[in-house]
């Protein structure tokens, strides 16, 4: 049977629309508006790098120009989101909490095996001490525990046992993040953080597999079983594959071929009515995206959709880098037009723009340069710096 071929422009359009990147980035970016955005995106990845602003703030700002960081802090305080792990640490819409119990249980087992090689011994002996301390005295951060323990000298991940215990108790849901100060997590007992209607809800593993695959497909539009499993990273590829086979047999999924930027069609799944959903045309406004934006997180998918090869060049020596190690993708309409290297120099109250590299075939006429400069100005407001400074050779 010949499968229907979906044009690349249609696939790209669905992808951006479902990631809320087609509409104009207007709206208050707080309160009910932000809550709906988080519900639609389902999660935003948290990251500590603050070159312009932290990843989660840039993700939300790309969709709401009026968004400011305190608004997400309010979402956590009001328990509209909880912090936990997808493929990385993320702020996740609270409606998903009960489904995370499957991940809590699995992480409790897998992390013990990993920590034998990754962490110093003795962390499990600290569990009851830490739980009693938090129970009796309230939330704490990693700096509040392990006062008598030798601090590590092996780098960022060389944790003392009590810090490892905190992380394990969080990953296994004995503790939850109640707030952040700067980027420091403060942990409290989960029953004191998560609202009862979510804390006490229970789902079977089969229901969670269905939820994970359904929400992944809703957010991606078209996806392989592997992409569905990777979206949340709470179920296995085998579970996603079995779910797809069952849904296909029932007629609740169809198979399609997706046109790609490289020309080789890719077989994927979709809902039977996927093309019946009316979509808004993408705005032509230029947006500067976080490297961890959910629309770009899957690097291979990004290449297929946009012919855009992106990696963070952390371990590449500076002399061999084509770009800066942490550069920001730039989206215009439904096209990624380049990447920009810029940094908020807060001591000088300035956004320092070092370089912009257009993608092949992108002409930087005066109108596009003006639109890019305006987008840089919006990022400067997010970073709370007043001025913009361009290097002499910034336009490459």
Tell which residue, 338, 283, 274, has the closest CA to residue 306: 338
Provide φ and ψ at 206, rounded to 5°. Answer: -65, -40
CB 64 within 8 A of CB 33: yes
The distance of Cα 372 from the centroid of its chain, to the nearest Å, equals 24
Pairing of strands 254-258, 328-332: unpaired
pLDDT at residue 156, rounded to an integer: 46
pLDDT by residue for the chain (396 residues), tens digit each? 689 999 999 999 999 999 999 999 999 999 999 999 999 999 999 998 899 999 999 999 999 999 999 999 999 999 999 999 998 999 999 999 999 999 999 999 988 877 766 566 667 888 999 999 999 999 999 888 876 766 655 444 557 788 888 999 999 999 999 999 888 999 999 999 999 999 999 999 999 999 999 999 999 999 999 999 999 999 999 999 999 999 999 999 999 999 999 999 999 999 999 999 888 889 999 999 999 999 999 999 999 999 999 988 777 887 788 888 899 999 999 999 999 999 999 999 999 999 999 999 999 999 999 999 999 999 999 999 999 999 999 999
- Report the interhelical angle of 101-118 vs 161-171 (nearest 10°): 160
Instruction: Tell me which DSSP letter residue 28 carries.
Output: -
The distance of Cα 124 from the centroid of its chain, to the nearest Å, equals 30
Two tokens, residue 201: 């809800």
Tell which CATH architecture fits domain 95-194. Answer: Orthogonal Bundle (1.10)
Three-state SS at 13? helix
pLDDT at residue 317, rounded to an integer: 81
pLDDT at residue 283, rounded to an integer: 93
pLDDT at residue 173, rounded to an integer: 95
CB 345 within 8 A of CB 351: yes
pLDDT at residue 277, rounded to an integer: 81
Two tokens, residue 244: 């797809």
pLDDT at residue 45, rounded to an integer: 95
Tell which residue, 206, 198, 265, 267, has the closest CA to residue 235: 206
pLDDT at residue 149, rounded to an integer: 64
Rounded-to-integer distance, Cα 316 and Cα 264, Å: 30
* Per-domain boundaries in the chain: 95-194, 286-390
């Amino acid at each position: 049977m010949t499968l229907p071929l979906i044009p690349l422009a249609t696939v790209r359009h669905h992808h951006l629309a479902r990631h809320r990147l087609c509409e104009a980035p207007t709206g208050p970016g707080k309160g009910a508006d932000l809550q709906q955005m988080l519900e639609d995106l389902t999660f935003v990845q948290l990251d500590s790098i603050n070159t312009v602003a932290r990843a989660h703030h840039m993700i939300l700002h790309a969709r709401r120009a009026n968004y400011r960081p305190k608004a997400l802090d309010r979402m956590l305080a009001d328990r509209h989101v909880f912090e936990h792990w997808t493929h990385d640490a993320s702020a996740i819409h609270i409606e998903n909490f009960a489904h995370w119990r499957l991940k809590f249980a699995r992480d409790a087992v897998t992390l013990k095996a990993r920590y034998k090689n990754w962490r110093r011994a003795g962390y499990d002996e600290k569990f009851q001490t830490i739980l009693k301390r938090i129970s009796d005295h309230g939330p704490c951060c990693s700096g509040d525990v392990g006062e008598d323990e030798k601090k590590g000298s092996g780098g960022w991940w060389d944790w003392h046992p009590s810090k490892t215990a905190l992380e394990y108790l969080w990953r296994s849901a004995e503790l939850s993040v109640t707030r952040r100060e700067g980027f420091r997590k403060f942990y409290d007992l989960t029953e004191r953080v998560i609202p009862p209607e979510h804390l006490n809800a229970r789902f079977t593993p089969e229901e969670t597999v269905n939820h994970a695959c359904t929400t992944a497909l809703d957010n991606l539009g078209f996806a392989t079983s592997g992409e569905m499993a990777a979206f949340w990273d709470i179920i296995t590829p085998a579970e996603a594959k079995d779910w797809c086979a069952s849904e296909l047999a029932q007629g609740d999924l169809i198979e399609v071929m997706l046109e790609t930027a490289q020309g080789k069609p890719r077989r994927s799944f979709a809902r039977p009515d996927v093309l019946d959903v009316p979509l808004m045309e993408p705005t032509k406004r230029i947006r500067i995206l976080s490297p961890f934006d959910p629309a770009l997180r899957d690097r291979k998918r990004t290449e297929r959709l946009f012919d855009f090869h992106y990696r963070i060049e952390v371990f590449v020596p500076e002399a061999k880098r084509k770009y800066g190690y942490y550069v920001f993708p730039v989206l215009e309409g439904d096209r990624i037009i380049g990447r920009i290297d810029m940094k908020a120099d807060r001591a000088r109250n300035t956004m320092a723009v070092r370089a912009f590299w257009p993608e092949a075939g992108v002409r930087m006429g005066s109108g596009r340069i003006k639109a890019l400069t305006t987008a840089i100005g919006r990022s400067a407001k997010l970073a709370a710096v007043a001025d913009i400074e361009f290097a002499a050779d910034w336009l490459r």
